[in-house]
Amino acid sequence: MYFLLMFTLPEASASTLKKWQGMVIEGHNLTGFSVAWCGEPMKGNVTKSNLKPSNVFILRQGDYFKYAVHDSSGFKEIPEKWYSKCFLKVSELPSENIVTVCVNGSFVDLPFLPHTLYNRKMSAKRRKKTHNVDHHVVYPTWKHQKGKSIHFKVAKAFKEVFDKADANELTLQDPFEGYESLEEIQATKTGRSAFKIVAGFVYYHCRDNLGYPLNLNTR
């Protein structure tokens, strides 16, 4: 277990803690979960644009955690694709995702980040330490060809993005990081969307490079 003085989310006001901390939820597909970390309730309807870290609740049922907001219609689970709005400027990661934090004078064990987000960041951190690129080797790929279509423009734009990623100036998210199996990917809307986008890119741009050449005899 990792003891932490500073948490990834801001602590709610004393009045909010008094009202919500430990409350057991009924309905909203969250029945049986209790409030383990309080966020500040929202007065209107939550959207990705108006969601703030201060609005995030962490709900717990045994060893299972969910992230939610409370708006005018009640509690709602936060979609994974909104996590980037909830957890800002997280640069240092603990060795374990479960940390001990002080909440309203009591110590509780909470995830430092949502499981999938923590795994992505840890994976990116490991890649930065071990990933080396030999810039002196010219590989026989389509990025070295010339053309005016959108495909060549995209390939050219990749270079700047990859250079910044190699220099640790930005983090490129692995769309499948945090998933343990293909079944997990297909079980969520976010996973299915990522799978189709990556498959589309491979299908139209680099299927030969990955060992899926077009079989002209089947056409």
Domain end point (choices 117, 151, 186): 117
User: 46 and 100 share a domain?
Assistant: yes
User: 150 and 211 share a domain?
Assistant: yes
Cα(41)–Cα(51) distance, integer angstroms? 11
User: 139 and 169 share a domain?
Assistant: yes
Residues across the chain: 219
- Within its chain, how far is the Cα of 67 from the centroid? 12
Cα(67)–Cα(194) distance, integer angstroms? 21
Range of the domain at 176: 133-218
User: 137 and 67 share a domain?
Assistant: no
Beta-sheet pairing, 34-37 with 106-111 = unpaired
The pLDDT profile of the chain, 219 residues, written as one tens digit per residue, is: 444 546 889 889 999 999 999 999 987 789 999 999 999 999 889 988 899 999 999 999 998 999 999 998 899 999 888 888 888 777 778 888 888 888 888 888 999 999 888 887 887 766 555 555 555 555 445 555 566 777 778 777 888 888 887 776 777 778 887 788 899 889 888 889 989 998 888 887 777 666 777 665 554
Residue closest to 139 by CA, chosen among 107, 162, 116: 162
Cα(103)–Cα(124) distance, integer angstroms? 30
How many structural domains are present in the chain? 2
pTM recorded for the entire structure: 0.59
126 within a domain of the structure (yes/no): no
User: 31 and 85 share a domain?
Assistant: yes
